[in-house]
Structure 1
Amino acid sequence: MKDVFQLKDIEKIAPKEKGITAMSVKEVLQSLVDDSMVDTDRIGTSNYFWAFPSKALHAKKRKLEELQNQFSEYNQKKKSLQETTEKSKIGREDTAERAALTKEVTTLQKKKEQLKAEIDKYKECDPDIIEEVRQANKVSKEAANRWTDNIFAVKSWAKRKFGFEESKIDKTFGIPEDFDYVD
């Protein structure tokens, strides 16, 4: 039927002719509008709904054309990939020479891994790593001596401020007798 309806008309017709409950007509109609199966427009204060058969036919034709275009594109890609595959096979035929070269490549890769593992074993002798360790040791030594300065300063302050003996301070705070700067 090629006609335009208002919501109240559809709410009367749908339960009788299509068996849709009157309570769900608005939801079903909105779902159809969302799926572009029914068109709607507001004119004045009223909303009008319609769905002409030609719209569905045109939508299906557009979808068919779109799918046919995609199909032809994919066929072109498939053909192109097959041609590329055939071109790449040229010169890669299984021959005795190719098998020997492949075996040699595998052997050389294994040897490379073995040599890499051996290099990793001797990494601690690497001059760059040794220099990094020396620099880290220097920084650590400076930090230890800085803390030693701080401890001596606190001990001196505690002796002046509270009159404690140095041996009592050392014993209370667990400072060893031979505590001194790191050389």
Structure 2
Amino acid sequence: MSRKKGLSLEEKRSRMLEIFFETKDVFQLKDIEKIAPKSKGITPMSVKEVLQSLVDDNLVDSERVGTSNYFWAFPSKALHARKRKLQELEKQLEEGTKRRAALQQAVDKAKKGRQDTKERASLQKELQSFREQREKLRTELEQYKECDPEVVEEMRKENTVAKEAVSRWTDNVFAIKSWAKRKFSFEDSRLDKAFGIPEDFDYID
């Protein structure tokens, strides 16, 4: 035997509203907790939750008097609440429709000129060819960079600095050789051999 299916939240809400609409009376929570399970089949454990959801949606009114909370609802209030909800939904639908139309218009506009025509395919092929040529020219330009006047001038400056540095070190070598000859009476050939100085060691022209 199949187990009886319980009521959904919407079914419970609807049945609880029937209690208020049919009696047109004001209740405390304890009253609803007694009536709902017996007359509408709503489980006692869910009565408070269902009632609060109706209050949150303004379908049931609630007022605290002293230490007790009282609840009531009339068909006219539910009707007005549903009308307001319907108006809100219709407004959202209208705004959504407008947004969709605006987006569709933007898409259509973006598609103009992008149809897969022979002319467009030819232009794309030509564009790709130009891009490949540009990369090829960039590669060639990099190869001939050494012939760039600015690069050549920079190299000349670097060569001048390097030549001056070599001259300073050459001065130092000759000065040390001169000092060693005076101090120890060594011959040039002996000094050159001892320190690995080539015979043709001299200033760079």
Question: How far, CA to CA, are the matches of 1:182 and 1:129 in structure 2?
Answer: 23
AA of the residue aligned to 1:173: F
The alignment status of 1:105 with 2:127, answered yes or no, reads yes
Question: How far, CA to CA, are the matches of 1:86 and 1:182 in structure 2?
Answer: 75
Deviation per CA, 1:67-108, whole angstroms, max 9, x where unpaired? Answer: xxxxxxxx9xxx798775554223322222211211110111
Question: How far, CA to CA, are the matches of 1:97 and 1:133 in structure 2?
Answer: 50
Question: How far, CA to CA, are the matches of 1:155 and 1:100 in structure 2?
Answer: 77
Name the % identity: 57
Question: How far, CA to CA, are the matches of 1:93 and 1:108 in structure 2?
Answer: 22
Unaligned runs of 5+ in 2: 1-48, 50-95
The alignment status of 1:177 with 2:168, answered yes or no, reads no
- For the structure 1 residues 86 and 157, does the alpha-carbon distance in structure 2 shift closer, same or farther, using more than 3 Å as the test? farther
Question: How far, CA to CA, are the matches of 1:154 and 1:81 in structure 2?
Answer: 86
Q: Secondary structure at the match of 1:179?
A: coil
Match of 1:159 in 2: 181
Normalized against structure 2, the TM-score is what? 0.46
AA of the residue aligned to 2:121: A
The alignment status of 1:131 with 2:146, answered yes or no, reads no
Q: How many residues align?
A: 111
Unaligned runs of 5+ in 1: 1-53, 55-74
Question: How far, CA to CA, are the matches of 2:192 and 2:138 in structure 1?
Answer: 53
Question: How far, CA to CA, are the matches of 1:158 and 1:177 in structure 2?
Answer: 17
Radius of gyration: which is bigger?
Answer: 2
Question: How far, CA to CA, are the matches of 2:168 and 2:103 in structure 1?
Answer: 69
Normalized against structure 1, the TM-score is what? 0.51
AA of the residue aligned to 2:144: Y
- For the structure 1 residues 158 and 82, does the alpha-carbon distance in structure 2 shift closer, same or farther, using more than 3 Å as the test? farther
Question: How far, CA to CA, are the matches of 2:168 and 2:189 in structure 1?
Answer: 22
Q: CA deviation at 1:158?
A: 1.3
Deviation per CA, 1:106-148, whole angstroms, max 9, x where unpaired? Answer: 1111121222222223222221121122112111111111100
- For the structure 1 residues 163 and 104, does the alpha-carbon distance in structure 2 shift closer, same or farther, using more than 3 Å as the test? same
